[in-house]
């Protein structure tokens, strides 16, 4: 997994959800917009303080999380 320097977590920003550079824009918002058919350019117009690298890193983070497997801990 590549180092994700643009994805931040802060319990006081958006309830601790993964955000872009500490802004109030969540990875889920970006992935949802892309899934709805919005283009990179449309998202950048709607959120002018974002950069294309923010969007690409959001997609990379979401892909990584989708592949992650959670294993429940079993107490003995």
Looking up tokens 């449309």 gives: 42
Which pLDDT tens digit goes with each residue over 2-48?
Answer: 788 999 999 999 999 999 999 999 999 999 999 999 999 999 999 99
CB-based contacts of 24, cutoff 8 Å, min separation 6: 13, 14
Token pair belonging to 7? 């994805």
CATH number where 62 lies: 1.10.10.10
In this structure, what token pair is assigned to residue 17? 């959800």
Please give the pLDDT value at position 26: 97
Is 45 a domain residue? yes
CB 25: neighbour CB atoms within 10 A? 22
Domain of residue 43, residue span: 7-67
- When divided into structural domains, the chain yields a total of 1
57 belongs to a structural domain? yes
| pTM, 2 dp | 0.83
Residue 8: strand, helix, or coil? strand
Secondary structure of residue 26 in the 3-state scheme: strand
Asked if residue 72 belongs to a domain, the reply is: no
What band does 66 get if pLDDT is binned at 50, 70 and 90?
confident
């Amino acid at each position: 997994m590549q180092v994700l320097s643009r994805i931040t977590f802060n319990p006081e920003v958006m309830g601790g959800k993964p955000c872009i550079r500490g802004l109030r824009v969540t990875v889920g918002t970006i992935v949802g917009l892309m899934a709805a058919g919005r283009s990179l350019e449309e998202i950048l117009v709607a959120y002018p303080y974002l950069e294309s690298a923010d969007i690409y890193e959001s997609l990379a983070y979401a892909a990584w999380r989708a592949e992650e497997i959670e294993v429940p801990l079993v107490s003995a």
